[in-house]
């Protein structure tokens, strides 16, 4: 498994081009963070990679062209955590997490032992044991986010895409989530997360992609790519390193 290979990727909302000529690799076995200013195309990139938006160019997972896959197989291969998830109907947390098994379940069959194990693993990972009977629309933003992340964990895919997954999480669950993602990458999965917090990327990432105005301006290892010059140019504000934590630079806009 080589991860996700993107080449000559273009995407647009109507006449507005939001991604232009993106080429690169999200390697398997690594957590890659996608950074960039507001409107740089981070969410659109994840939407395209997840099959939720039309595009031109190529997105391959291993040797398989994503757009040629039947929907169910794509669902078994790629999972997506959307930004600030909302749930309009009163599903319970358990129901939402169990939906993650949809691409694996056979028609008219109930949950198999494997499905049950995947759901339990997801519930444990996001510490949802006490919330299983609660209705998702009535939960707090962070609890709702944990339920949707658990759904994607239960989906058990080779590729995990996350758009601002920790925007509503408390520090405990942020740490828990990124440790889980690190372990998933260590087990050979491809993990891609779009975030705004550069230090989160520095701390938990193996690699970073930096987007600006829909174009990929830099990519590579965390240490090699998160530099004062690149960050200052991309965000149009001076950056400085304010020390080191866990062996990585800590950055601050000044």
Cα–Cα distance between 8 and 40 in angstroms, integer?
A: 17
In terms of CB distance, is 164 or 212 closer to other proteins? 164
Phi, psi (5° rounding) for residue 23?
-135, 135
CB of 168 to other proteins, least distance (A): 15
Question: Token pair of 222, please?
Answer: 């965390």
Report yes or no: 164 and 196 within 8 Å, Cβ to Cβ.
yes
In terms of CB distance, is 136 or 169 closer to other proteins? 136
Report yes or no: 16 and 8 within 8 Å, Cβ to Cβ.
no
In terms of CB distance, is 87 or 200 closer to other proteins? 87
CB of 139 to other proteins, least distance (A): 10
Question: Token pair of 242, please?
Answer: 């304010």
In terms of Cβ atoms closer than 10 Å to its own Cβ (0-12, 13-18, 19+), residue 216 is buried
Torsion of CA 159, 160, 163, 164, to 10 degrees: -140
Write out the residues near other proteins by the rule CB under 8 A. Answer: 47, 50-52, 70-76, 78-80, 82, 85-92, 94-96, 99-100, 102-103, 105, 130, 132-133, 135, 137-138, 151-152, 155
In terms of CB distance, is 152 or 231 closer to other proteins? 152
Torsion of CA 5, 180, 148, 101, to 10 degrees: 70
CB of 100 to other proteins, least distance (A): 7
In terms of Cβ atoms closer than 10 Å to its own Cβ (0-12, 13-18, 19+), residue 58 is middle
CB of 70 to other proteins, least distance (A): 7
Question: Token pair of 243, please?
Answer: 């020390």
Which residues sit opposite 12 in a β-bridge?
A: 17
In terms of CB distance, is 76 or 196 closer to other proteins? 76
Question: Token pair of 212, please?
Answer: 């600006």
Which of 243, 209, 214, 242 has its CA nearest to residue 226? 209
In terms of CB distance, is 10 or 135 closer to other proteins? 135
In terms of CB distance, is 18 or 78 closer to other proteins? 78
């Amino acid at each position: 498994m080589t991860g996700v290979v993107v080449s000559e990727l273009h995407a647009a909302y109507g006449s507005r081009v939001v991604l232009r000529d993106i080429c690169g690799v999200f390697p398997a076995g690594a957590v890659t963070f996608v950074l960039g200013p507001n409107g740089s195309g981070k969410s659109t990139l994840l939407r395209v990679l997840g099959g939720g938006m039309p595009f031109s160019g190529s997105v391959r997972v291993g040797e398989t062209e994503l757009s040629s896959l039947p929907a169910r197989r794509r669902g078994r291969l790629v999972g997506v955590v959307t930004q600030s998830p909302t749930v309009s109907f009163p599903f319970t947390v358990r129901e939402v997490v169990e939906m993650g098994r949809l691409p694996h379940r056979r028609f008219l069959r109930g949950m198999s032992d494997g499905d049950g194990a995947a759901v339990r693993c997801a519930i444990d990972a996001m510490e949802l044991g006490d919330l299983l009977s609660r209705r998702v629309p009535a939960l707090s933003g962070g609890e709702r986010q944990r339920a949707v992340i658990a759904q994607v964990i239960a989906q058990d895919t080779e590729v995990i895409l996350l758009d601002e997954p920790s925007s509503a999480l408390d520090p405990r669950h942020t740490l828990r989530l990124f440790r889980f993602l690190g372990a998933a990458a260590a087990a050979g999965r491809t993990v891609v997360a779009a975030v705004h917090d550069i230090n989160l990327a520095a701390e938990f990432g193996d690699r970073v992609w930096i987007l600006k105005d829909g174009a990929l301006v830099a990519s590579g290892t965390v240490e090699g790519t998160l530099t004062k010059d690149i960050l200052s140019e991309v965000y149009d504000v001076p950056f400085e390193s304010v020390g080191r934590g866990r062996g990585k630079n800590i950055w601050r806009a000044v």
